[in-house]
Every structure is written in structure tokens, then in C-alpha cells.
Structure 1
Amino acid sequence: MRTTYTGRRARVPGEGHRSHNEVRGEVYGSVVQAGSVQGGIHIGAPPAAVRQTPWQLPPLVRVVDRSSELAALERHRARAERDGRPALAAVSGLGGVGKTTVALRWLHGLRGRFPAGQLHADLGAQSPDGPEHPGEILARFLRALGIPAQQVPAMLAERTVLYRSLTADRSLVVLLDDAATAAQVRPLLPGGGSVVAVTSRSRLPGLIVDGCYPLHLEPLAPEAAVELLSDTLADGRVGDEPEDARTLVALCAGLPLAVRIAGARLAARPGRRIATMVRSLAAEHQRLEALAIDGDHSVRAALDLSYRTLPPPAARLYRLLGLHPGREFDASVASVLLTTEADAARALDILHEASLLVDAPGERHRFHDLVRLHAAERAREEESPVERAEAVRRIADHYLASATRAEEIIDPQHRTMARDYGSVPVLVADMGAGPDAALDWLERELPNLMAVVHQARSAGLPTVCWQLADALWPLFLRRKFHDDWCAAHREGLAAARDLGDTVAECRMLTSGGLGELDAGHPGRALAMFERAAELFLGRGDLLGHARTLNYRGLALRGLGRPDEAAGYFARAATELPDHGDRRAGALARLNLADLALTTEQAGEAGQTDEARQTGETEEARQAREARQIVWAEEAIRHAGAARTTLLDVGDTYNAARAATLLGRAQLAANRPGQAAELLSSALAVLRGMTANYETARAVEGLAEVSERRGQTDLARTHYQEALDLYASVGRSGYDEAEAVRSRLRRLERGGPDGS
């Protein structure tokens, strides 16, 4: 006989004390031997459990575009089956992304393989009353498996043991929905070869220790989101308004809950066009309000549930990051907003675990668009106007200081103007060592930097606006982001004028004018340079005025007025050193050299074309070649002097440009050996600066040297590299790229005359 004895004394009203004795357990045979016993003895066996087959999974809804995720879950299950162990998977993601839908689709498909039943429990991580205790869930599971209520053990550990014993020889599927922690889940894991899917807004990294397969769901791709919208509407409107449908799901940012709500609202209004819903969602501050229906299905409510679970530091970081103007950011931005780097790192981890942030390439972080709107909304509700303004200023100062540091590393000769920061110490981003790393940082952060530029004036930070545009100069000059170059300086110019700061206005006019010129708008550029010249003269700034001579020469050249351009370049080359700027004077001479070489090349091309059409006499050929030598020598004189000065003042970038021009001029003077030496030296410097346009010019020059020497294969290789480099800088290299393509075709045909 195996028994458990429990005895207790109970007070029953009117009867004084009475003993109650029970013998629990299994009794074998018909004899019980006992010593002295007070009160009655009750001997009994527990009622037999009735083996039941529960089918508790909620109904299945249609799944759109999750085939790869479902296949991954099934591969995990098959591996677990081969290994003879349970299959455990955790499906995590943002609220409303479809975690439960995916889990149900997977588990419903397994019914034929798992005939012992299905268990389901909502663990209540987002419940207002807090998460369910695993002991309560286990009690429900035990009853569903046939254990009478009075036989369910009182202690969690005993319930867990009984649950695993009952499931050891059963093939079940179990859905544990909306889990809060790994600790809440572990007691609910069955024994045997069952399959368990856990859904949670948290990634539950602790379950990986238990052999869990983690699957994080992202929002739907655009086409899949359109399909979901069509499935929700089911009335043909998506087919009738395909462009508006794509715009609508983009405003929903692919979040299935948002798409379903938008579709349900449209379905309730059969005569309403999708374009009308698009207009109602277009205003960011109204979008969360519009994505709600019937008071209980709301994107805002789904995000509120996740937000309420955050500890205070993570919740505050979430709110303040909602004020960040860009789409993604690195950890340094979080450090700017919280007290210490360690606090920021912990808070970022919590936001990721809660699926409120997602990873972006390069160890960066990104909000889903609707989450960003929710975070900004929470900031407006819970942070004071002063706190919000301080956070925006800290973010702006961080980007301004970091861009300025990159500017100093890349172009130490550039005249960096004074920067004005707020009262809080400024954190500068870690961008690595050297000019290349600084350029890469600027390019990677350009969307954020431009977002700050566009936000700054409306945020009451006009000084940040023009100073940040100014700090981006090295990036624009080398990597030719023309649209951003022009847009940043338009904003900066407006900010400078708002401030009445003529020094800043002149800087924005000259730097911005160069951007317009490089983008192919010489007329706009000339107007900006002439306005700057007026302002410089009005202030008595003769050096500033002399600098505009060079700029005006460049614009006139772009307008096809080379003689006027040469006059401005010559004045600048003389006046700038006289006013104390030898470097700018050298750049003016570099422009004179380029103009001379361009004139020589244009003359050669024109004379050669004419000669091909009419025939060229020996006398005419000699005269043409003599003129070419004159122009080439003029270019050599100016480029050589410019290079010497630029090397002397430490401007290695522009000295390399001068070496390229000098090499091309030497080639025009029929000195290929000297040309190759100069072009190779320029290339060695430019490759280290990731200056693709200038690198392409040097490589193209080497290709011409190789072609002149009859090295056709080498010339072809150089031309192809030059073509790739020109293509990488967009519009700036379009004409040059076309010329290189022409030369490649000529080489393929077999020679200069196509023979």
C-alpha cells in the first residue's frame, strides 16, 4: 500500500474541536493497518481521469505572404522530430504584425500529424490586470486533458510534473499566445514530442536556452499588403484604384493590423474611394486616429499595450526618440538623450526586446513608421514643451558637431566657420579614423543630417540649419549629392536671411551656388555669386569679393562664355593672393589651366572632324598641332604653378587635381611619359580619398596614355574603370561617361578610324 496521510483539526461551529483524517494515494489489497486514530477514517482512491482530446485553437484566418516564415517553422519542427525532441518556436514582432495568425496557420496545418489535440492559452502579457500566472494556465490545461478539478494539485511544481507526465506519450500542439517572459512559458512546455508555438511582442531570448527557434516577423512587403487590402475589401476597389491602394498600404507601413483596419473602414463605406482614405492618412498627426475602428481595434491601442510594459528609462527614451527627425539612427543618438551610455544601451535593448525598434544595417536602429508616430505622440502627451525642445536641440547639436568633426578630418584646409551649440555638452559620433571613414559616416548619416536641416528652422534653430549645411560641404564636393547639396543650401540661405546674418548668407550663396553649378544650373549659380559679390562689397570684405571672381568665372564658363570666364579667373589669380588667400589664388590658376586645356581639346576635335570631312593639308595639320601645343603649354604653366602652391599650403586633394590636369596637359603636348607619371601620382592620392569623379579623370587620362602607346588591352581596362567611376557620381559624370563609351566603342572597332 502507498499512501499519503494528512491530518488536521478543524473547529466546526457548535461542536468544538474535531479531528479529520484522510489517507490519500493508491491502496492495494483490502487491509489497512493503523495505530491510534482520533476521529473517523476515510479511505478512498482518486476518481479515474478521463482521457480527453482538446481542440482549443482559435479559428484560422487567411495568411498573406508568410510562406518563407511558415517554411522555416516547419523545417524546425522536422529537425526536432528527427532528433526526438519537442519543437519549440517563439514568434515575435510588433503589435499587429500578425504573430498569432502565422502561429495558427502553422499549427492548424499539423492537426493530422498530432491527433492527441490542441491546447491554447492567452498568457496576457498586455492585459490590464497583468500576465496570467502559469499555475492558472496549467490548471486549465490539466482539466482539458481529463484531470478532474478536485484532483488538480495546489502547487505549481506539482502541476508542472503532472502536466508533463500526462503529455509524455501524447502528440499535442500548444499555442501560448502573448507571453510576457521566458519564465512564464517554461512550466507550460509539455513533455514528449509535442509542438509549441509561443507568440510575444518580446523576443524572449531566454527561451533559446531551451532549444527554441526564434522567428521575428517584419511588416508585409508592399505587394503582399495590397493583397491583404484586396482580401479585406473584396469588392474590386483595389483593382480599380491600384496606385491609391499602393499609397494606402505604404501609409500603413505594411502593418497587417493597420491594413485590415483601413480595409474594414473602406468596406463599411462601399461608395468611398481609396483615395479618400489616403487623404485622411496623409497627415502624420492624424494617422493613428484614422487607423481605428469600432473603438476596440486600433493601432494606437496595440502600441499603447507595448508601451505600458516599458520601465521608465526605456519609456522615456522611446518618447524622445520619437522626436528624432530621421528614419534610423545609431546608439550615439540614444546616448545624447539619456544620462549615460550604459543607460542608453540598456534602454535600447529593452525597446528591441519589446519589438518597438528593429535592427538596421551597420548596428543601427529603426522605428516602424507607425511606431515612430506613436512615440512622437507619447512625447507630446508626456514631455513638457521645454523638455521636447531640449531633446530636439541635443539631437541637432550632436549631428552638427559630428558633421563638423568629419569636415575637419576630410578637408582641414576648408575655412570652417564658428559653430554655435546649446548649453548641454555635445557628444560627437565615433566615425572611425581617416578621411574615408569620415566621408562614409557623412554619407551614411546624410538622410538624418538633411532631416535636421529641414526641421531646424521650424524648430527655432536657424543657426543650426545654415551651419549644418555648411558642414556638409566636403561630402557634397566629393560625392556629388546634388539634390541634397542644393536643398541644404536653400534652407541654409533662408535661415541666414531670417537671422539677418550677412556672413552666413554669403557662405550659403557661394557654397550653394557651386552646388547649382555642379548640378548643371550655371544661370542660377551666376545670380547667387553676383549677389554674394554685392554683399561682400557692401561689408568692405575685399577677400570675399575676390573669391566670387573665381566662382563667377566658373558660372560663365558653364554658360558657354569662355573669354569672360578667363578674365574673371585671371583677376582672381592676381587678387586672391594679394588679399591673403594663396590657396584660392592657386585654385583660380587651376581653373585657367582647365579652360586652356578644354579649348585645346575642343579645337582638336573640331579640326579633326573638319579634316575628316574635307581633307587636311600638311600645312593645316602643322598649324593645328602648333596651336594645340600653345594651349597645352598654357595649361601646363597654370597647372604647374597651382600644384606647387597647393602642395605648399598642404591641400593634398586639390594638388592631386592639379596633377591630373597637368598630366593631361603633358599628354596634349605629346609627352606621354611625363603624363603617365603625373596621372599615376594623382591617382595614388585620389583613391585614398574616395573622390570618384576626380579619380575617374585620372584613370581616363591613363587610358589615353595607354591608347597612345598602342597598349589597347590596358587602355580598355582603364576606360572601363573610368566609365564605372563616372557612372557612380550620377549627373556630374554623364557627359564624361558618354565620351568614354565612345572611346571604348572605337577600341572595339579596331582603331581611331574604325578600321
Structure 2
Amino acid sequence: MRSGGQESQNELSGTVHGPVVQAGSVYGGIHFGARPGSAGQTPWQLPPLIRVIDRTHEVATLEQHRVRAARENRPVLAALSGLGGVGKTTVALSWLYTLRPRFPNGQLHADLGAQSPEGPADPAEVLARFLRALGIPAQQVPARLSERTALYRSLTAVRRLVVLLDDAATAAQVRPLLPAGGSVTVVTSRRRLPGLTVDGCCPVHLEPLDPEAAVELLADTLSDGRVSEQPEDAHALVELCAGLPLAVRVAGARLATRPGRRIGTMVRALSDEHRRLEVLAIEGDHDVLATLDVSYRALPGPAARLYRLLGLHPGREFSGSVAAALCGTDREAAECLDMLHDASLLAEAAGERHRFHDLVRLHAAAKADADEPPDARASAVRRIADHYLASATRAEEIIDPQHRTMARDYGPGPLVVAEVGPDPETALDWLEQELPNLMAVIHQAVGAGFPATCWQLVDALWPLFLRRKFYEECGTAHRAGLAAARELGDVAAECRMLTSGGIGELGSGNPGSALEMFERAARLFLAAGDGLGHARTLNYRGLALQRLGRSRQASDLFRRAADELPLHGDHRAGGLAALNRADLALEEGRAEEAVRQAGGARETLERAGDRYNAARAATCMGRAHLALGRIRPAEELLSTALAALRGLSGYEAARALGALATVSERRGRWRQARDRCREALDLYASAGRSRSPDAEAVRQRLETLEREESSQ
């Protein structure tokens, strides 16, 4: 048809794009548009696939989500989050490539540039590229975002596509790019994108590789046999890379360019924490430091400051109260921690705690050195130390109020005290959980300029060392605390470190060393005119002499302590001396005397509110009655002691259980006797005392009971 106008042939000539209608008379409207699915192009834009190591669980989760969504006739949307360099795109590609036969209409890919220096990509620009890739001529791409989105969804409604949206900034950036119909979309982001979950998204968070998988990745990168020839160095290398795939790949790539270089050479280079991130770089290409820098620069100011101050924390993981100590308020700390988790710069640890990936921790510390003045760093380190000292002191007061007699020195500013629990067992659990951090603060305090914190924190930890038998940590801590007290010239602190440290040496099986420490403390107390302190050492020296087999001297010192300590006002310590006399009497076969001495000790300790040692006295009385053949009072006392000791001391609870096993045996309750022996051995093992004489006696008793059972 021709139009009815009189235009010349020249006026009608020209280049025509898209559908054309030539008509003479037209009634009604003429509408131009591409028929959905009519474009002839099939885009295959996904980046090349590289081998993925040990991500079968994550890929299986994605595939299960796809099958479930297909069954429910809805689009498939998944989001992979994680630290930069953890392998999000690699995992996405490894899954999406398997789907190509099921999705024949093409693959779209876009880098959304969340970490780009120019800022995140504009969804409208990305949509324009997608539309052109799907066959829409540039001139027909609509101008407005809403129109582009509508056309994109019309085109994809009847297509089966896979879409990879890399490095997304927000859920809002992603939503216009989601296809319609039965397509599959995977989003990767360093940030968790909870907003997409509302849209039916399957969130998958990637953690670094475990050591064996990381070694496999290193072998895949080197491909020359060095990993199998040098397995110990290979494991050391991936440990220094903390399982981060990018770090392992970079280290492997650098080794690959030097075929004659041993893996140990790279291990030595990475062993310097201050240079590790610099070493994990390939000039002009992959760079772990640059990857972390990008995530850091994207943080809001308060979150960035908390990130670098947390880099000064001496331990591997921490609670939210540490962040509150650094921020000043719980609310700001919670908000900033959420931002760091969303940015994948923090990982979750058990018990609502937080931890850094090892390389991220080094990066945060480096940022603290670069971006915080020295006085701000020193103040942050002191606030962390004060937080732990105040919290440990609170736990000490709950567990053993009588022990809390030494002063505590804190820096300026408000203290943030952790929730350590309402009762002794919970407080002990808190101390045990935080022990690695508390030990790290002890070692850090002297060099950081507050040696008093060192010995005071050791002092606050004493109830944990005593009840749960952490003797190795006890010895290490007391050596540091003793050195700090001497540096300060604080005689009272030195004596406390000598006496409590000496008791730790006794528990470790070093009575000779313990006796030397107690005698040194006794000399210091005498020189200072401290009669109470000197009287307390009588008890301690008696314990050491008892372990050394000098029982007569020990008994004399216990008697003197029991007489002198109440005269100086310390009735509780006098009760402990009486308990020590009872233990020695029972050990030497004087059971009636043991009952009498332990009974008096129990009354004294109960009046003093010392539940733990009163229960120990009840155990001694029960064992003494058992030695005398008095089964009923023995069972009552031992059962009472066991109920009080559970949770406070596995070792002391095991001693009560071992005696109760004998009670069961005497009553002919063989199964109960065996069960009590097994439970006692479990408690000895949990307390690290499975080779103690008490544990060996229970083990022999159990073997006898089991032989008798099998012979019946």
C-alpha cells in the first residue's frame, strides 16, 4: 500500500529500522512493537568456568531451591554472600553452567559494581545492555527505567534464561533486573541482602575453605606436584591464608611462576603478620589487600572505626559487649556490628559471638595503625582490657565472694561489664569461654603500659583455675602476674601471685616448686609485718609438705594454721586448715579423726558462705564414714556434696562419684556402681585429671566390676 500524500520518491527514501507499514488510508491507530521472543539473538554472557573446590553443599542447596521453585511455578532467585575473594562467583558459575541444557534461551551477566570506584551500576544502564543482548535495537530501548523493566519482563516471560548479577550493592539495585517467567537469577554480593529474601530469594553465605579443601585448591593452582611432595609446608601455607580461596590462588600463582621455589619459602614470607597482606598480591591483578580495602572504604564512618578498633582486640573472637566498650553504647555497637556482618567483614561464632577471618583481622589492625592516632589506639586497648578485668571480677564475686579482696585499677571512662550469669556455674562457664581472650589480655597488658591489669586479671581468674583445673594456663598466667607485680614493686600483689600460683603448682604435680613459692611469700609477709598473710602460708606450706610425703610436718602446719587464722579474723581460712587436717587424717587411716575435723570445717565454711569448700568437707566426711563401714551417712553426705559440686568442679564431683560408686557396690547395686564409675572417669577426663591417682583407683574398680559381670 502507498500513502495518499504527494511526497516525492526522494522524500520517501531513507534507512528504516524496525517494522514498517506503508498505507494509503488508515483508520484507527498503528502500533509498533516487538513480538515477545521474536528477537533472534541468544546471549551467552557468563564468564569462563574455573574449577570449584569443596562447594558441593552450597551447590546442592541452590539446586534444591531451583527444583522447589520450579515445582511451585515461580522464578528462581538465589543470593551468594561472603567475604571478598571467598569464591562467590566461582560457585555461582559452577552451578549455572550445569543448567545450560535446561535454559536454552541464553545467559545474561552483569557486574553491578558495588565495589567500583565509580559507584554501583545504574539498573537502567544494565537493563539497556540486557535488552540489546536479547535482540532489541538500541533505538527501540525505552528511555525510562520503568519502561525498560516492563519490556525486559515481557521478553523474558516466555524465555528460559539464567542471569548472573555480580557484586550487587543493594536489593533495590537488583529488583529491576529480575526476569519474569521460569528463569534463574543468581546474585553475588559481599553484603547479605535480606531484602531479597522477601522476594523469595534463597540466601547462601560462603565461608572460607577447610584446610584439606584449601590444600586441594593450592594443588590445582600449582599443578606440578609440589603440594604432594611438600605436604607439611602446603598445610602451613593454606593455614596462613586462612582458607580464603583468593589468598590461596594468589600464593599458588606466585609459586607457579617460580617452579624451583619450595612452598616453605612462601610460608616464611607469609609468617610475618605485618607483611602478609602485601605478599598476597599479584601486581596489577589479584590482590587480597586491595579486595579488603574496597570493602573497608564502603563502610559508614562509625562502622569503619569500630572495624579498625576491633582489629586491636587480642583474641580470635569476642562478644558484643567488647564492641560496646569501644563504641560507648550498646545501641551504636549493635548497629555497627550489623553493618560489619552485612559487609561480610565479620563472621558469626557460637553463642551470638563474632569473629574475624584471620586475614581480615590483620587488615583491621593495619587500618587501626594507619587511621587512628597513637593515643586513640592506646585508649581502645585499655578499654578492651578494662572490660575483661571488670567482667572477670564480676564473675569472681559471684563464684567466690571471699576471694575478692584485692583492689582493681581501671583507666578513665565508663566500664562496660559483660553479662556473666546469675550463679557460680554460669559465671564459671563465662570465664572458661573467655579464657583465650583473658589470657591474651594478660600477655598484652604489661607491654601496653598497664601492668597492674596483668596481675589483677590473673587474680580474678583464680576461682576458674581452682575449680576447673586449668593448671597449664594457671602457671602461665601466674608467671606473667608475678613479673608484673615485681615490676610495680607491689609486695601484696607479689605475695598473692606466689600463694595462688603455688596452689596451681600443687595441682600440676610440682609440690617442690609450690613449697618454694609459699616460703618466699612467707618471708615477704614477715618482712612486711603481715601476720594474717604469714598465717595463711602455714596452710599452703602444709599442703606442699603433704604432697612431698612429709606428713608429720604438714600436720603440724595445718594445726598451727587452724589455731592462728581465726585469731587474725580469717575464720574461713581456719576452716580450710581444718579440712586439710581431715584429709591428711583420712589418708593416714585415722577415719574417726577425719570425721571430726571435716565436720568442724564444714560448719565453719558454711557459716562463711563458702559453698564449694563446704561441699568438699562433706565429701571428706562421707569418705571417712565409708572407711568406717557407715554406709547410710556416707551416702547422704556424698550425695549432698555431689549435688553442690556439679558444675563447680568436675574434679571434685568425680571424687564424690567415685566414693558413691563404692557405696553402690557395698549395697550390691552393681549396675549403679559401674555407671557411677564411668561418669566419674568422664568427669576426671573433662577436668584433665584422667591420670590422677584418684582416677586410676576408679578405673581399676570399674575393671574389677566389669570382670565380675562378665564371669556371671
After TM superposition, the score normalised by the length of structure 2 is 0.94
How do residues 283-322 of structure 1 correspond to structure 2 at under 5 angstroms? 283-322=272-311
In the TM superposition, what whole-angstrom CA distance separates every residue of 1:676-712 from its partner, at most 9, and x where no partner exists? 222122223223x432111111122222122222222
User: Is residue 257 of structure 2 the alignment partner of residue 268 of structure 1?
Assistant: yes
Partner residue in 2 for 1:612 = none
Range with greater deviation from structure 2 (214-223 or 695-704): 695-704
Q: Distance in 1 between matches of 2:72 and 2:22?
A: 40
Q: Distance in 2 between matches of 1:187 and 1:373?
A: 38
Partner residue in 1 for 2:662 = 704
Partner residue in 1 for 2:622 = 663
1:685 to 636, 644, 651: 644
Range with greater deviation from structure 2 (738-747 or 100-109): 738-747
Q: Distance in 2 between matches of 1:416 and 1:296?
A: 60
User: Is residue 25 of structure 2 the alignment partner of residue 31 of structure 1?
Assistant: yes
User: Is residue 486 of structure 2 the alignment partner of residue 465 of structure 1?
Assistant: no
- Asked whether the equivalents of residues 480 and 732 of structure 1 are also in contact (C-alpha less than 8 Å), the reply is no
User: Is residue 465 of structure 2 the alignment partner of residue 476 of structure 1?
Assistant: yes
Change over 3 Å in CA distance of 1:45–1:76 after alignment to 2: closer
TM-superposed deviation, 1:123: 0.4
How do residues 499-578 of structure 1 correspond to structure 2 at under 5 angstroms? 499-578=488-567
Change over 3 Å in CA distance of 1:46–1:166 after alignment to 2: closer
Partner of 2:117, secondary structure, is coil
Partner residue in 2 for 1:739 = 697
Partner residue in 2 for 1:452 = 441
- Asked whether the equivalents of residues 397 and 404 of structure 2 are also in contact (C-alpha less than 8 Å), the reply is no
Q: Distance in 1 between matches of 2:20 and 2:592?
A: 113
Partner of 2:121, secondary structure, is coil
Q: Distance in 2 between matches of 1:504 and 1:481?
A: 21
Partner residue in 2 for 1:607 = none
How do residues 151-166 of structure 1 correspond to structure 2 at under 5 angstroms? 151-166=140-155
TM-superposed deviation, 1:391: 0.6
Q: Distance in 1 between matches of 2:197 and 2:667?
A: 65
Q: Give me the identity figure in percent.
A: 70
TM-superposed deviation, 1:665: 0.6
* Amino acid across the alignment from 1:31: S
Partner residue in 2 for 1:672 = 631
Range with greater deviation from structure 2 (152-161 or 553-562): 553-562
Q: Distance in 2 between matches of 1:320 and 1:449?
A: 18
- Asked whether the equivalents of residues 690 and 696 of structure 2 are also in contact (C-alpha less than 8 Å), the reply is no
For structure 1, the residue ranges without an aligned partner over 5 or more in a row are 1-21, 35-42, 601-630
TM-superposed deviation, 1:28: 9.4
In the TM superposition, what whole-angstrom CA distance separates every residue of 1:556-586 from its partner, at most 9, and x where no partner exists? 2222322332222222222222222121121
In the TM superposition, what whole-angstrom CA distance separates every residue of 1:450-491 from its partner, at most 9, and x where no partner exists? 111111111111111110011011111111111111111111
In the TM superposition, what whole-angstrom CA distance separates every residue of 1:86-139 from its partner, at most 9, and x where no partner exists? 111100000000001000111111111111011000000000000000000000
In the TM superposition, what whole-angstrom CA distance separates every residue of 1:172-193 from its partner, at most 9, and x where no partner exists? 0111000000000000001111
Partner residue in 1 for 2:96 = 107
2:426 to 437, 442, 446: 437
- Asked whether the equivalents of residues 661 and 676 of structure 2 are also in contact (C-alpha less than 8 Å), the reply is yes
2:686 to 704, 714, 728: 728
1:401 to 390, 405, 410: 390
* Amino acid across the alignment from 1:677: E
Partner residue in 1 for 2:6 = none
User: Is residue 177 of structure 2 the alignment partner of residue 188 of structure 1?
Assistant: yes
Change over 3 Å in CA distance of 1:675–1:199 after alignment to 2: same
* Amino acid across the alignment from 1:402: S
- Asked whether the equivalents of residues 519 and 732 of structure 1 are also in contact (C-alpha less than 8 Å), the reply is no
* Amino acid across the alignment from 2:392: A
Change over 3 Å in CA distance of 1:47–1:479 after alignment to 2: closer
Partner residue in 1 for 2:326 = 337
Partner residue in 1 for 2:121 = 132
Q: Distance in 1 between matches of 2:114 and 2:21?
A: 44
Q: CA RMSD in A?
A: 2.1
Q: Larger C-alpha radius of gyration, 1 or 2?
A: 1
Partner of 1:454, secondary structure, is helix
For structure 2, the residue ranges without an aligned partner over 5 or more in a row are 1-15
User: Is residue 51 of structure 2 the alignment partner of residue 62 of structure 1?
Assistant: yes
Q: Distance in 1 between matches of 2:706 and 2:328?
A: 64
Partner residue in 1 for 2:8 = none
Q: Distance in 2 between matches of 1:45 and 1:647?
A: 95
User: Is residue 82 of structure 2 the alignment partner of residue 93 of structure 1?
Assistant: yes
Q: Distance in 2 between matches of 1:522 and 1:243?
A: 40
Aligned length: 695
TM-superposed deviation, 1:47: 8.6
2:604 to 637, 640, 645: 645
Q: Distance in 1 between matches of 2:709 and 2:604?
A: 40
- Asked whether the equivalents of residues 92 and 199 of structure 1 are also in contact (C-alpha less than 8 Å), the reply is yes
TM-superposed deviation, 1:751: 8.8
In the TM superposition, what whole-angstrom CA distance separates every residue of 1:727-754 from its partner, at most 9, and x where no partner exists? 21013763322211111111223399x9
Q: Distance in 2 between matches of 1:46 and 1:721?
A: 80
* Amino acid across the alignment from 1:745: E
Range with greater deviation from structure 2 (345-354 or 631-640): 631-640
Partner residue in 1 for 2:225 = 236
TM-superposed deviation, 1:337: 0.9
Partner of 1:675, secondary structure, is helix
2:574 to 585, 605, 612: 585
Q: Distance in 1 between matches of 2:701 and 2:20?
A: 97
User: Is residue 381 of structure 2 the alignment partner of residue 384 of structure 1?
Assistant: no
TM-superposed deviation, 1:642: 1.1
- Asked whether the equivalents of residues 681 and 690 of structure 2 are also in contact (C-alpha less than 8 Å), the reply is no
Q: Distance in 2 between matches of 1:166 and 1:28?
A: 27
Range with greater deviation from structure 2 (475-484 or 98-107): 475-484
Q: Distance in 2 between matches of 1:157 and 1:751?
A: 82
Q: Distance in 2 between matches of 1:506 and 1:88?
A: 66
Q: Distance in 1 between matches of 2:574 and 2:495?
A: 19
Partner of 1:423, secondary structure, is coil
TM-superposed deviation, 1:323: 0.7
Partner of 2:661, secondary structure, is helix
